[in-house]
Chain A
Amino acid sequence: MQTYLRQASQMQALSFTVHIPLVCFGIALPAIIAFMEWRFLRTGDELYRTLARRWTRLMAALFAVGVITGTILSFEMGMLWPGFMSRFGGVFGLGFAIEGFSFFMEAIFIGIYVYGWKRLKPRTHLLCAVPIILAGFTGSLMVISVNAWMQHPSGFKLVHGRAVDVHPLAALFGNSFLWNELIHMYLAGYIVTGFVLAAPYAIAMLRGRRGRYERTALAVPLAIAAIVSPIQVLVGDWVARDVATEQPTKLAAIEGLAHTTRGASEHLLGWYENGQVKFGIAIPKLLSLLAFHSFNAKVQGLDAVPASQRPPINITRISFQLMVMIGTALAVLGVWFLFMRYRRKRLPDTRWFYMAVAAAGPLSLVALIAGWIVTEVGRQPWVVYKVMTTTQAVTDARSVPVGYAALAIAYVLVAIGVVWVLRRLSAAPLDELDGAPAGTPATAGA
């Protein structure tokens, strides 16, 4: 029987690509807003409250879109991958079930926070941000525990195609892969939110609007992103070393390493073809050093597994290079910002710096998606690494292409809508932001 594996994979990828940037704002924006509100409570300076309120509106709108795209994802788990769910739902499902509670907390307290400006006592209101921040963390922890389990499955035995002897807690949380994926993703959330939020204010500065309002709105998210970006490089290196030991084939795909080699060299740029990287810059022995901390360590190549068990090389490899290049550039930008802060005790004043910050917003998003492509495409052809292939997981339903097309159209409309509403929100006069959140037109019923 014909299945629509390709379309199903692409539909899944599309849905994630839409969900994951929104998630970053769910992770980091509440903390940034709470910081602003706390500054306001400490200093009584209205400027901070104005910014906090503006960003609350942004958070409310993005959260709503995060909810719907996440709902689609949970539908798709069963709609597209019934084989996967039927066999392993009992093993990893717990992660999602706990995640559900964390969504509850997030949704409840975002509701209170968004509607509670001016309607709750200031301190109560600020306290309501705490569960949102915590839930952003536990939510990511739970989903990523599922993803990490797919990368590095354990906690069950397979007998006659059924999972038996199931230990969900060990499967989800006793997994070395979880911690590096989680930290890397969580930091990515702060990087993306920081740079994306700073970008419009950098553009405003370039256009000559350099009042204290713009400077504050720029400095807070930018400082966060600038601090986290260099740290992310270290964490990324840690992630890569874990991939090297646990998923050697993925590492070989990332590096375009055809044959198992001692003292393998690292290739920058280039294109993988016929067992080698063409037009790349080779740095001898660097790969062995990076992956195993030794110049002559043996690195497993693609030839260790049959061709049918290798992921698409170029997609994985190019996405990885893109992420690392952008990550490095963001780290350099961050270090520059910190250096200027330390040396000159002020914001940088060169045009190129603000142009770089404006570019860093979209670039950090590219790095985010690219990183997930490395993780997910590099896992192919397995849905559960070395246990179940995507062919075994995919649905037999013939409706996949139609569903894919419908969802793609819907998401294009969603994207247009989001851009439209964000522009409207940023143009709304400040005095109308009296705590009436998403959904209540600023002047309704007045």
Chain B
Amino acid sequence: MNPISRIAPVTDAEAAQMVHPDTLADLAERLTSTPVEAAAAEDAAGNTAWQSPRRSQGWHAAGLIHRAAGPRRWPGWLAPVAAAVAVAGVIIASLGISGLIRRPTATGPAGSSGVFANVPRHFVAVPEVPGRAVVVGATATGAELGTVPPPKPHTFFAWVAAAGDGRTFVLGTSSLPRGPWDVTTPRPVKLYRLVLDRSGHPGHLARLPIPTEKGITGLAMSPDGSKLAVSFLPVPGQTGSKIEVFSLSTGAQREWVWPGPGTLGEIAMPVTSGELQWEADNRTLMFELTTRTPNGWPAQLYLLDTAAPGGSLLASSARIPVPGTYLGLQHNRQRYIVGMPLITGDGRKLVAPFYHQKAPPKVFGFSITEFSVRTGKLIRVLYQKRSGTEAASTAVYWVNTHGTAMIAVRGPVFGVQTPATFTPLPPRTQRLFTGPIPGSLSRLPVW
């Protein structure tokens, strides 16, 4: 459960109840008592409307208005109806933001279907709002192959992880509180395995017997689908964040605890993926540890050998020597990795969206960059774009074993990035996770 939703001081429905219908009618009447053209003209002239004597002539001092004696322009039932409309409207369907959208500038090669053969055939697109179903889609065609609603009593998906084979996924579900102050009912996450058939159609959700009563901050399924790695917040009163690896066949579990302050991954708000990553050997797990200092939140990347006995996460892990200034969240940096990098299946490279700012004048530089896992040094820039806005930013969602194909975002466009080309995914595919307007991102796609 998103913890921030639990500290909302008031819900929309409660807010609606706080205002008397007569007040609503009065406010609307006052607002519309001046012709819109005149109000706009005043606005354009820099006149801060409310102190305008001309406008205030027709107004009554608040508290002296007794509208009960006069005709009521806004019926009393309007408030609950409006509240219902508002509550329903909070879960809004796909919305246009056409001003932000740019057409894909790159086009795929003539044989782009060959490019799609190098990426997982299917993906799940996880909704960001409660009550909606996961959509299963075909990467190369955009065909919608099925939907999976959240299993009752849970109402939404908070976590998702993929084995990377285009068929096997783990989904974590939870439920919203009955009210923002209801903290008496435990709402742990439940984990389910979803396996697609060979044609990509989803099967049933199979519950995984994994205890998740603690705060999950990361989830990753091994490429062979046999193991699930889960990271957790420290137990209250203690400092050690931890990783547990579960065998999905036997239920065996092994646990490593970080011997000091620091957090792994992040809380799901609203749905999260990619905080832990397996190498193709089904043994090595990459994680990022974030600590807190006066200068910000520096981070370090580590590789955990999950064949090692449980115990100290530090002792069982090796640090990837990427410069510390490139990672985490620190002040006054001009070059850094944006988000969590992906590791190639062979464990040799990191692929990361990278950001480079030059000032003045402010120019944003976005790239997709490879780093060596062994040396931590930059190997190659696969794509770069200098821009005056963040609209050109990049992201990487999936990478293959050797880093020769990845699913990346360049600006608003999702596509297959190779060392030589960028082939946009078909618009129909992108619409499955962006809604009707490209780039609007109403579902999180996971391959």
> Is A bound to B?
no
> A residues near B, CB below 8 A?
none
> B residues near A, CB below 8 A?
none
